[in-house]
């Protein structure tokens, strides 16, 4: 039985291909949706600024009131700092 290359769950009839450089992954619809959302966040111009802020202020070492990624990113975009 074919399994998802990301979550390793058995694949049913719905399959998607994700190309990452020389590697092609076969994934199910849930993992494909998560990958598309992650790609959209990376394309957001404020994401690099957010990552710079996290590195400079060690934002990852303190818990964010909004929770983990992507909630902390959205909190930061709305002006929240921790």
Q: What is the 3-state secondary structure (H, E, C) of 9-74?
A: CECCCCCEEEEECCEEEEECHHHHHHHHHHHHHHHCHHHHHHHHHHHHHCHHHCCCCCCCCCHHHH
28-79: pLDDT as tens digits: 999 999 999 888 888 888 888 888 888 888 766 778 888 888 888 889 889 9
The whole-model pTM stands at 0.57
Q: Is residue 62 included in any domain, yes or no?
A: yes
| Domain count for the chain | 1
Residue 58: inside a domain, yes or no? yes
Point out which residues pair with 10 in neighbouring strands.
Answer: 3
Residues across the chain: 82
> pLDDT at position 60, please?
64
Instruction: Give the rounded percent of residues in the chain with a pLDDT score beyond 70.
Output: 98
Domain assignment present for residue 30? The answer is: yes
């Amino acid at each position: 039985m074919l399994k998802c290359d990301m979550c390793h769950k058995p694949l049913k009839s719905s399959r998607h291909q994700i190309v990452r450089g020389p590697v092609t992954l076969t994934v199910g619809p849930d993992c494909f949706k998560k990958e598309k959302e992650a790609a959209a966040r990376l394309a957001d111009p404020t994401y690099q600024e957010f990552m710079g802020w996290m590195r400079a202020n060690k934002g990852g070492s303190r818990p964010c009131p909004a929770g983990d990624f992507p909630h902390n990113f959205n909190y930061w975009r709305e002006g929240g700092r921790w």
